[in-house]
């Protein structure tokens, strides 16, 4: 399973765009990149998943360069409610033996 490296913590101000980068140098050909958000005392919540280039949904964008050795989660115009831990996960969800391996994530604090 590909190991991921993320910053331990980040601070931002309301209304700013936040970019969280995840490094996954040994990503495999069939691996996807998935990001989850977790608030205290709640389970993680799926944000976005992608394989290459750019994926966008109503809450975030995911940028994946051609070599796929890193990815960047972009949160536009964050608010105080975006304060949470963000996890980057890498793996092949079609393998039949896929399981999420969580790291310690990135603690994002949004300031007023």
Partner 1 sequence: DAGVTQSPTHLIKTRGQQVTLRCSPKSGHDTVSWYQQALGQGPQFIFQYYEEEERQRGNFPDRFSGHQFPNYSSELNVNALLLGDSALYLCASSSDWGRYGYTFGSGTRLTVV
User: Which residues of the shown chain bind partner 1 in the complex (CB under 8 A)?
Assistant: 32, 34, 41-46, 49, 85, 87, 93-105
Q: How far is the CB of 3 from partner 1 (least distance, A)?
A: 13
Q: How many helices (H) does the chain have, and how many strands (E)?
A: 0, 9
How many whole angstroms separate alpha carbon 79 and alpha carbon 54? Answer: 23
Query: Quick one: 17 or 23, whose CB is closer to partner 1?
Result: 23
Query: Quick one: 43 or 67, whose CB is closer to partner 1?
Result: 43
Q: How far is the CB of 1 from partner 1 (least distance, A)?
A: 10
Q: How far is the CB of 14 from partner 1 (least distance, A)?
A: 25
Query: Quick one: 7 or 103, whose CB is closer to partner 1?
Result: 103
Query: Phi then psi for 64, rounded to 5 degrees?
Result: -130, 115
Structure tokens at 13: 């101000």
Q: How far apart are the first and last CA of the chain?
A: 38
């Amino acid at each position: 399973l590909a190991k991921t490296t993320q910053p331990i913590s980040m601070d931002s101000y309301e209304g700013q765009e936040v970019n969280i980068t995840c490094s996954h140098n040994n990503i495999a050909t069939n691996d996807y990149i998935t990001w989850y958000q977790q608030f205290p005392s709640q389970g993680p919540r799926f944000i976005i998943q992608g394989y290459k280039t750019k994926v966008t949904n109503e809450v975030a964008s995911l940028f994946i360069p051609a070599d796929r050795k890193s990815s960047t989660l972009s949160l536009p115009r964050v608010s105080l409610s975006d304060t949470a831990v963000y996890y980057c996960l890498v793996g092949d969800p079609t393998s039949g033996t896929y399981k999420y391996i969580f790291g310690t994530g990135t603690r994002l604090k949004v300031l007023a």
